[in-house]
Amino acid sequence: MWTWFYKLASPPYVYGAAAALMPWFLGFALLAIGYGLIGGLVFAPPDYQQGDAFRIIYVHVPSAWLSEFIYTMMALAGGIALIWRIKVGHAVAAAAAPIGASFTLLALVTGSMWGKPMWGTYWAWDPRLTSELILLFLYVGVMSLRSAFEDPLRGDRAAALLAVVGAVNVPIIHYSVVWWNSLHQGATVAKLGKPSIAGSMLWPLLSMFVGFMLFFGAVLCLRLQGEVLNRERQSAWVREAVKS
């Protein structure tokens, strides 16, 4: 197991693994998203309170989950790179940041579109919405900080530090609906005990979640290859890698 862990620190291994995994991730992602969209938009019954507006959850909830997951992964990768000085960690964090920012924006926009018919407003300074907006600012901050330094290593370290410190926002987003009075509904799927959502609505949602996760994996593989190539341009193995 440790041998595998050490391999993950090797740029050529990571480059090769990302190239091999990408088509699988993308293929299964498209299948899962296709099933989720058809199940959610066509076959799931309308909600008894929200009507067909509830179908927005099939893109809103997976993107919101993913925005938190990607940030946590980015902070972990940055932390590992800072503590053990593993360069691949910085590459993973740099590759994940724009993907995470785009899914956070998607969660905010679709949440806002759901809020108008349900709450009567596109935006409210609600704890869940505000903490998700702060997450978007954190992503933008991490990306800006990385590119603000002439020395890429200093940029990587500064961005990793901000990512690690900003990770405190992730549990705040998650528990904001529990800790404070919030317009946003509480946990429906990820709660202890039975989820309070019917199976015909739940399965397409879970499929969309799996699909979005796999899609993130595919895009991360592509971006990670690019990051590794940019960082290892002077290495001998790159010659073989870019020949084809």
Partner 1 sequence: MSSFWYMGGYARYVWPCVGFACVVLAWNLWSARRMLAGARLTAQRALAMRAAEAKT
Q: Which is nearer to partner 1, 14 or 164 (CB)?
A: 14
Q: Residue 193 region, left (φ>0) first, then alpha (ψ -120 to 50), else beta? A: left
Window of 80-88, 125-133, 182-190, 219-227 that interacts with partner 1 by CB under 8 A: 219-227
With tokens 């995994």, the residue in question is 21
Stretch that binds partner 1, among 80-88, 183-191, 196-204, 230-238 (CB under 8 A): 230-238
Min dist CB 118 to partner 1, Å, is 9
Q: Which residues of 95-134 are buried (b: 16+ CB within 10 A; e: fewer)?
A: bbbbbbbbbbbbbbebbbebbeebeeeeebebbbbbbbeb
Radius of gyration (C-alpha) of the chain in whole angstroms: 20
| 1-9, 37-45, 150-158, 198-206 -> range binding partner 1 (CB under 8 A) | 37-45
Site stretch for partner 1 (CB under 8 A), options 79-87, 143-151, 158-166, 229-237: 229-237
**Residues numbered 110-169 forming contacts with partner 1, rule: CB under 8 A:** 110, 113-114, 116-117
Measure the CA–CA gap between 86 and 84, rounded to whole angstroms.
5
**In this complex, which beta carbon is closest to partner 1, that of residue 181 or of residue 244?**
244
Length of the chain: 244
- Among the listed residues 64, 136, 145, 219, the single contact to partner 1 using CB under 8 A: 219
Considering the complex, state which of residue 63 and residue 207 has its C-beta at the smaller distance from partner 1.
63
Q: Is 17 or 161 the residue whose CB approaches partner 1 more closely?
A: 17
Based on DSSP, count helices (H) and strands (E) in the chain, helices before strands. Answer: 9, 0
Distance CA 183, CA 127 (A): 9
User: Could you tell me which stretch among 142-150, 166-174, 196-204, 211-219 binds partner 1 (CB under 8 A)?
Assistant: 211-219
Output the smallest distance, CB 147 to partner 1, in A: 14
Residue 215's alpha-carbon distances to 18, 92, 207, 210, in angstroms, are 13, 16, 12, 8
Q: Which is nearer to partner 1, 104 or 169 (CB)?
A: 104
Given a contact cutoff of 8 angstroms between Cβ atoms, the answer to whether 62 and 211 are in contact is yes
Q: What H or E segment, with its residue span, contains residue 32? A: helix 11-38
Element holding 124 (H helix, E strand): none
Identify residues 55-114 at the interface with partner 1 (CB under 8 A): 55-56, 59-60, 63, 98-99, 102-103, 105-106, 109-110, 113-114
> Residue 228 burial by CB count (10 A; 0-12/13-18/19+): exposed, middle or buried?
buried
Which residues sit at the interface with partner 1, rule CB under 8 A?
26, 33, 37, 41-42, 46, 51-53, 55-56, 59-60, 63, 98-99, 102-103, 105-106, 109-110, 113-114, 116-117, 215, 218-219, 222-223, 225-227, 229-230, 233-234, 238-239, 241-242
